[in-house]
Homo-oligomer: A and B are copies of this chain.
Amino acid sequence: MSDPDKPKIILRPRIRILRGREIVMGPGKAELLAHIEETRSLSESARRMKMSYMKAWLLVQTMNRNYSKPLVQAERGGRAGGGARLTAHGRRVLASYREMEVLSLAAIQAPWKKLRRMLKPSSA
């Protein structure tokens, strides 16, 4: 068990992209795309994220209407429960977003170490 006097220190960078008032990419939407890529099922992806099917479907609709091409496509002859797959556009968008996350995290290591040393000690 972790020492309550030495709480865990967590760095949480979050990149969100807005188009107008809508978030068109962020941690949740990226996770949903990754699950769709893996499971080829919107209902299974929703279940893994403890999200309703309707919520997942709305996130997909938000993405599909804001990019120049859809990111997610219903599978031909779509299975019961919502067969879905990423389009080539969807895979490229997700890859660019993941690249942003990785590059951001790498770039901030030096000042993060400096800042971290100015906090009270942690258990981590």
29 CB < 8 A contacts A-B: A8-B18, A8-B19, A8-B20, A9-B17, A9-B19, A10-B18, A11-B15, A12-B15, A12-B17, A12-B18, A13-B15, A13-B16, A14-B14, A15-B108, A19-B119, A19-B120, A24-B119, A68-B118, A68-B119, A68-B120, A89-B118, A93-B115, A96-B111, A96-B115, A103-B108, A103-B110, A103-B111, A104-B107, A104-B108
Between A18, A69, A111, the greatest number of chain B beta carbons within 10 A of the residue's beta carbon is seen for: A111
A108: B residues at CB distance < 8 A: 15, 99-100, 103-104, 107
Give the number of chain A interface residues (Cβ < 8 Å).
43
